[in-house]
Amino acid sequence: MSPNKLLKIPSVSELLENPSLRSLVERINHSTLVSTARTVLDELRNEAQTMASERTLPDVSELAERIANRIMENAPTRMRSVVNGTGVLFHAELGKPPLAETAAEAMIAAARGYVDDPRLSPGDKHVCREVVVEQMLRDLTSAERAVVVGSIAGATTLAMAALCCESELGDYGELIVARRHLVDFDGEYRLADLAGSIGPWLTEIGASNRVRLEDYTRAIDKDTGAVLWVEDSRHIPKTCSSSPTLKEVVAAAHAKKVPVIAHLDGGTLLDDDTLHFAAATNVSEAVGAGADVVIFRGDRFLGGPQCGLIVGRRAALERIEHHPLADAMHISGPTSAALAATLHLYADADKAKREIPLLQLLSTSTDNLKNRAQRIATQLAACDAVESVEITEGVAHLSGCECDDELPTWRIEIEPADINGKPRSAEQLAADLIEGEPGVVGRVEGDRLVIDLRSVIPWQDIELVTAFEAMDADEDEDE
């Protein structure tokens, strides 16, 4: 290889001026561009050493394209919004339904600027957002006090640490819990692990499939720090109808002056048969049953941002609020803003069902779903990627768990068309839709792709059709 040929290799700065790389400047870190360009040039120099003399080096445009492809291949997968057509509302891989529009706007507004603090304008007239959130939670649940932390696991840990720390045993007392309540919450956390991380030892009572009231009364003594009562129908079998109610457990514990922590993984602020809330417990009912502390999520049936909500009696909540762990669990300003906006919607139950996506999905009538399915199916039938389309009745689920309530739904079943004379499977169609813009996630059943409208937010109907039309455009370009 002639040295003159090596001199023809462009410089990094020359490559970065090429349109192929200039278009990446706003999306890719500059140092990544430079580093990748240098790597590709080093590879070219090594290649040139053994290149036959009659072969020519790639020009600037070819090299720039090579660098751009290398960057895009190695770029981390970006997070993006997709249309959930699986019929599973709390999908393990897709997360939970989005926030209400007002909550998203409040979160963005708080994230773009500094968050106010009452110390900036002292006086009784200024109220910080945390106080507003607490007041709304108190009004909505009839609790005496409320505390918000970053997650339900954090809320549970904090409550156990605060309520079990005073006993005749020393630093921590025992935490009594039914054996069948020590569940694994979808791999997110385990109650036994949380308790083990802070000090209280667990006293398990009852059998793996049933607990009786006398199990509690026998176990509670002077060494008991607190009783943990868990409500989560996703994991706890519904056959345990003879199990004591929360109110009965509270009475037994309070008779011996022991506080009760009610853990509601599916706690809700509404009680409406149209929402299929059999899998959830109304927080107000738990408060009314006398629980000292009630813990629930902000991001499950509430439909708000991820956080852990703690409500209950004043004495118990003050111990929680002043525990050292509480300082490590504060939520951010944007999260607080989104939570406040979500709670504000609950002042009007009908408005909450209209504007909070999760409640909207749950309360949509089957007639509405059928009408939407018919309209979408007609549009999809005109797409080249679709051979045939049919709408059918079906069953959707909250989280795909076998013990979930079944939600009536309407589905769109799509048989894919061939591509340039070659057969296209339902799996291939599903994969192409996931990668498209916008992305669509469906469910493959046999030789068809199924889109379940129970988990599709109404405004996403047009995105669903657009995704199929975009596939037609891509195929036209390939021909």
Output the domain CATH number for residue 346.
3.40.640.10
Q: Please indicate, yes or no, whether residues 325 and 401 belong to a single structural domain of this protein.
A: no
Same domain, residue pair 180 and 293: yes
Lowest mean pLDDT among 173-177, 215-219, 340-344, 398-402: 398-402
For the segment 431-454, the average pLDDT, to the nearest whole number, is 92
Does residue 105 share a domain with residue 87? no
Tell me what the mean pLDDT of segment 253-273 comes to.
90
**Does one domain contain both 62 and 142?**
no
Q: What is the pLDDT of residue 297?
A: 93
Q: What is the CATH classification number for the domain harbouring 415?
A: 3.90.1150.180
CA-nearest of 397, 435, 433, 153 to 296 is 153
- Mean per-residue pLDDT, 424-448: 91
pLDDT score for 106: 93
pLDDT given for residue 202 in this prediction:
83
pLDDT tens by residue, 91-150: 888 888 899 999 999 999 999 887 665 555 555 544 466 788 999 999 999 999 999 999
Nearest to 211 by CA among 202, 219, 222, 221: 219
326 sits in the region (left: phi over 0; alpha: psi -120 to 50; else beta) called alpha
pLDDT for 358: 94
Amino acid at site 379? Q
Residue 4 has pLDDT above 90, yes or no: no
Last residue of a domain, one of 355, 384, 418: 355
Residues 86 and 117 in one domain: no
Spatial separation of the C-alpha atoms in residues 353 and 277, rounded to whole Å: 13
Task: Choose the weakest-confidence range: 11-15, 93-97, 131-135, 199-203.
Answer: 199-203
**Residues 188-209: what's their mean pLDDT?**
83
247-266: average pLDDT: 94
Check residue 169 and give its pLDDT: 43
**Averaged pLDDT for residues 32-45:** 84
Residues 54-78 pLDDT 10s: 567 778 888 888 888 887 777 655 6
How many domains are contained in the chain? 3
Q: Are residues 238 and 334 in the same domain?
A: yes
The answer on pLDDT for 199 being more than 60 is yes
Return phi, psi of residue 95, to 5°: 80, -160
Which region among 12-16, 108-112, 202-206, 274-278 has the lowest average model confidence (pLDDT)? 274-278
Using pLDDT thresholds of 50, 70 and 90, give the confidence band for residue 252: very high
Q: Domain boundary residue among 321, 355, 389?
A: 355
Cα–Cα distance between 348 and 355 in angstroms, integer? 11
Residue 359 has pLDDT above 50, yes or no: yes
Looking at this protein, which amino acid is placed at residue 300? R
Identify whether residues 273 and 161 lie together within a single domain: yes
Q: Is the pLDDT of residue 473 over 90?
A: no
| Whether residue 241 is found in the same domain as residue 288 | yes
Task: Look at 168 and 149; give whichever has higher pLDDT.
Answer: 149
What pLDDT is recorded for position 170? 45
Q: Are strands 174-178 and 448-452 parallel, antiparallel or unpaired?
A: unpaired
Q: Residue 239: its pLDDT value, please?
A: 45
Is residue 154 domain-shared with residue 244, that is, in the same domain? yes
CA nearest 181: which of 240, 139, 138, 128?
Answer: 240
pTM value? 0.80
Residues 146 and 29 occupy one common structural domain? no
Q: What is the mean pLDDT of the chain?
A: 85
Q: In this predicted model, what pLDDT tens digit does every residue of 320-343 receive, in sequence order? A: 999 999 989 989 999 999 999 999
**60 and 182 co-located in one domain:** no
- Compute the average pLDDT of residues 349-364: 93
Residue that terminates a domain, selected from 331, 355, 379: 355
Q: How confident is the model over 367-380, as pLDDT tens digits?
A: 999 999 999 999 99
Cα–Cα distance for residue pair 62/66, rounded to 1 Å: 6
Give the relative orientation of helices 366-381 and 461-478 as an angle to the nearest 10 degrees: 20
User: Helix/strand/coil (H, E, C) string of the chain?
Assistant: CCHHHHHCCCCHHHHHCCHHHHCCCCCCCHHHHHHHHHHHHHHHHHHHHCCCCCCCCCCHHHHHHHHHHHHHHHCCCCCCCEEECCCECCECCCECCCCCHHHHHHHHHHHHCCCCCHHHCCCCCCCCHHHHHHHHHHHHHCCCEEEEECCHHHHHHHHHHHHCCCECCECCCEEEEEHHHCCECCCCCEHHHHHHHHCCCEEEECCCCCCCHHHHHHHCCCCEEEEEEEECCCCCCCCCCCCCCHHHHHHHHHHCCCCEEEEECCEECCCCHHHCHHHCEEHHHHHHCCCCEEEEECCCCCCCCCCEEEEECHHHHHHHHCCHHHHHCCCCHHHHHHHHHHHHHCCCHHHHHHHCHHHHHHHCCHHHHHHHHHHHHHHHHCCCCEEEEEEEEEEEECCCCCCCCEEEEEEEEEEECCECCECCCHHHHHHHHHHCCCEEECEEECCEEEEEHHHCCHHHHHHHHHHHHHHHHHHHHHC
pLDDT confidence of residue 133: 92
Domain that holds residue 384: 82-93+362-478
| Residue 43 confidence (pLDDT) | 84
Question: Do 463 and 344 lie in a common domain?
Answer: no
pLDDT in tens, 205-245: 998 888 999 999 999 998 899 999 998 555 554 444 568 99
Q: What pLDDT score does 294 carry?
A: 98
- Of residues 154 and 266, which shows the higher confidence score? 154
